[in-house]
Structure 1
Amino acid sequence: MTDEWTERMADGVAEQKQRARAHFLQRRQRLPEAVRQDASRRIVASVSDVLAQMVASGQSASPSVERGAASRGGIGLYWPVRGEVDVRGLAPVLRHSGWTAGFPVIVGEGQLMFRMVTDNTAWEMGPYRIPEPSPAAPELPMHSLVAVIVPGVAFTVDGGRLGYGGGYYDRLFARLPQSVLRVGVAYEAQLAESLPIGVHDVRMHVVVTERRVYPCAPWA
């Protein structure tokens, strides 16, 4: 893990974040498409292993899930944009294993909710031109979530995350209990030795790249 960004950090968290985003977005975009696709497949496999270990450890509660969700609970995924790790292949794997897969929808004042998806789910373009499950897809209740797979511009190996600046995931996790596993996914090229982290920036419990799984913050 190399990072010339660390040497270029400027005073002021907002300015640091802006410079860091530009640096790591450029780094991600320089990765060839074939490399990103191969890395995504490796990351999906590792995330599946992480969730299996969560079940084996007995730490995945089985909350009551409404409207036909699977007994194991819900896993929040996302639709990849701008070269992000593609985790869409997890959806059928999760459903086959007894989970409910959900994708995010922006609602209200910058809040995220999740809707359940199947092979027959209809999609529509949401804000920022990111596909979202149509309103016909059932809502995945927040209390049913046991893990959320989180994209980002950059991560540190101790769970620090730099997003795009909208604060959607920070607000989401402020509404969820600590027991919901936060899994950051990124290419190894997106790892930083340090990042400008604000007081409201939520850390990941684990970060997964194509090379390895990095345990981070304690998970209750």
Structure 2
Amino acid sequence: MTNPDELLAEYLAEHVTKRHRKRAMREDLRRRIDINKGDSGNVVKEVSAYLEDKPMVRVVAVYSALPGEADLSTLVSRGGKIWVFPKVVGEDLYFFQVLNLKEDLEFGAFGILEPKEGLREYDASQIDLFLCPGLGFDVRGGRIGRGRGFYDRVLSKARAGALKVGVCFGFQLVEDVATEPHDIRMNCVIAG
């Protein structure tokens, strides 16, 4: 029979190590973002090609880019899709349809452009494809965000079959992002 103290020590060693690795990885990825400049145009082309192969995708969750993130805003002007943007409310993300970037977005939580009040809301279960930002991704679809867990919480509510696509620049790809049980994996990663 295994000693409970040994099990606890083993568990703590594994999780403390992962948390330490994640903290160090976030620092490394922030440095990479600070010293590299990605080309959003290349990422937009890759995402466009991906969308062309997915005609069944109707409702697409996109994001307002922070400095150092791939800016996908030019996609929103393309017809044929319903584009929804996240809004931070408390500890959760809610998604609202945006038709006009200049008229429908305003600065919100954390200085990020978010949908204004009064726009049509879409529940996470209504979204066909989530285009997810992150500090970094690995080749197995692991994602490391900024540490607040907003995307992991909302993606856990996505319907079965909804696509989760990580979007980043090539310098944000790493070998392993040290995923934990609560981390939601991407179906694929588009890195331009």
Question: How many pairs were matched up?
Answer: 177
Scaled by the length of structure 1, the TM-score of the pair is 0.76
CA–CA separation in structure 2 for the residues paired with 1:142 and 1:190: 26
Structure 2 unaligned regions, length at least 5: 1-14
8 Å CA contact 1:152–1:184 kept in 2: the answer is yes
Mapping for residues 156-175 of structure 1, pairs under 5 Å:
156-175=138-157
Name which of 90, 94, 98 aligns with 1:113. Answer: 94
C-alpha deviation, 1:128, in angstroms? 0.9
C-alpha deviation, 1:122, in angstroms? 3.0
Amino acid at match of 2:46: S
C-alpha deviation, 1:11, in angstroms? 5.8
- State yes or no: 1:76 paired with 2:76: no
Name which of 121, 128, 141 aligns with 1:139. Answer: 121
C-alpha deviation, 1:40, in angstroms? 1.1
8 Å CA contact 1:121–1:133 kept in 2: the answer is no
Name which of 62, 86, 89 aligns with 2:74. Answer: 89
Amino acid at match of 2:144: L
1:30 aligned residue: 35
**Secondary structure in structure 2 of the residue aligned to 1:128:** helix
Amino acid at match of 1:111: D
Name which of 134, 151, 154 aligns with 2:136. Answer: 154
CA–CA separation in structure 1 for the residues paired with 2:178 and 2:127: 28
Mapping for residues 1-220 of structure 1, pairs under 5 Å:
12-32=17-37, 36=38, 39-55=39-55, 60=56, 73-93=58-78, 96=79, 98-108=80-90, 110-119=91-100, 121-210=103-192
Scaled by the length of structure 2, the TM-score of the pair is 0.86
CA–CA separation in structure 2 for the residues paired with 1:12 and 1:82: 29
Q: Greater CA radius of gyration, 1 or 2?
A: 2
8 Å CA contact 2:124–2:155 kept in 1: the answer is no
CA–CA separation in structure 2 for the residues paired with 1:183 and 1:122: 24
CA–CA separation in structure 2 for the residues paired with 1:186 and 1:11: 27
CA–CA separation in structure 2 for the residues paired with 1:129 and 1:77: 17
Offset from partner CA, 1:38-61 (integer Å, 9 cap, x none): x21111111111122122xxxx3x
Indicate the structure with greater helix content: 2
Runs of 4+ in 1 over 3 A off after TM superposition: none
| CA RMSD across the alignment | 1.7
C-alpha deviation, 1:144, in angstroms? 2.6
- Identity among equivalent positions (%) equals 29
